[in-house]
Amino acid sequence: MTKIGVGIIGNGMATRVFHAPYIATVPTLTLRKVVSRRAEMPPPAPGVMLVGDVASVLDDPAIDLVVIATPSATHATLAQQALEAGKHVVLEKPFALNLAEAQALVNLAAARGRLLTAFHNRRWDSDFLTMRAALATGLIGDVVHFASHFDRFRPALRDRWREDGGAGSGVWYDLGPHLIDQALLLFGQPVAVDADIAALRPGGQADDFAHVTLHYPDKRVTLHASMCVAGGSSRFIAHGLQGSLVKIAADPQEAQSIAGIRPDAPEWGVDLDPLRHWDGDGVVREMTAQRGCQQQFYALLADACHDVGPAPTLPREILAVQAILDLARSASECGQRLAV
């Protein structure tokens, strides 16, 4: 297969922790350029050229794929520019600020014959892979309640765009897409949504708390994200008619990458926290967690660029996530349960 040149717009945490290390694992992808607003920042990988303007990437014929890892409010504009320049595009989440923006981008990609996908890397988290596999076996029977928590302990406000109250800021836009995407993969589209999304930290301008319930005819799925949880919440809890499943610790890959561990390391993605299964008699047994492999996103994307497989996230999946992201915010603002 021919090499696919990659350019990344943005040189922040997402590029350095996720995109650049994962792209490096795929032999048919070559990261060539990164657009960085700060000249003092080193490149995210050896041999990568730092450039100061988007045109240096979009006008480069050696770059076929553009990754957009910038503040949320810029996603739609930059994606439109990249698609119009004839590039395949990966968009960080949130994919867009609303469903209309998302649909316009999907339509443009189809018209230009380009791949457009969202970076839902947490489909390949150890905790999610393990829970999904266990549910697929019918181990606990029909699920009646599923809870997904993505909690952190960051009680002090920080001077950054994610917390300034501007468009696309806040914990719901940051973590909500992951929570929604995983829930839809497990259970499909709900029939209604209610939500409580709020800024609870003193002086907070952007939401730092989100509690969203997806209503299905036979189950409830709760999605929770908070910036003020020092401990005590499990990543996943599933209750069924024949038992329960609990995954306490979260996937290790983000922490490993921050620590400098790369996907080719033997310990990469190894999750030592087991999935716990309670049967109907209260007997508990532990199940070894699957190994996480977020880098698989770029392996699948490279294949899709070579027309030998689908994109890692499909347009209909992207739009379904965006619809729930929007609907939950509306439900919180009006204080009512809203039909999907």
Distance CA 15, CA 19 (A): 5
Domain that holds residue 189: 122-292+324-339
Distance CA 94, CA 181 (A): 11
pLDDT value for 161: 83
By three-state DSSP, how is residue 6 classified? strand
Residue 280 pLDDT > 90: no
Q: What is the CATH number of the domain that holds 192?
A: 3.30.360.10
pLDDT value for 159: 86
Q: What is the CATH number of the domain that holds 100?
A: 3.40.50.720
pLDDT value for 63: 98
**Do 277 and 136 share a domain, yes or no?**
yes
**Do 219 and 111 share a domain, yes or no?**
no
Strand spans (E) along the chain: 4-9, 29-35, 49-51, 65-68, 88-91, 116-118, 143-151, 192-198, 209-216, 219-226, 236-240, 243-247, 275-279, 284-287, 338-339
Structural domains in the chain (count): 2
> Tokens at residue 111, please?
């018209």
**In terms of Cα–Cα distance, which of 226, 192, 184 is closest to 207?**
226
Residue 125: CB atoms within 10 A of its CB come to 26
Segment 287-292 shows an average pLDDT of 98
**Do 54 and 135 share a domain, yes or no?**
no
Q: How confident is the model at residue 149 (pLDDT cuts 50, 70, 90)?
A: very high
Residue 1 pLDDT > 80: no
Segment 79-101 shows an average pLDDT of 98
The DSSP code sequence of 148-169 is: EEEE-B--S--SSGGGSS-TT-
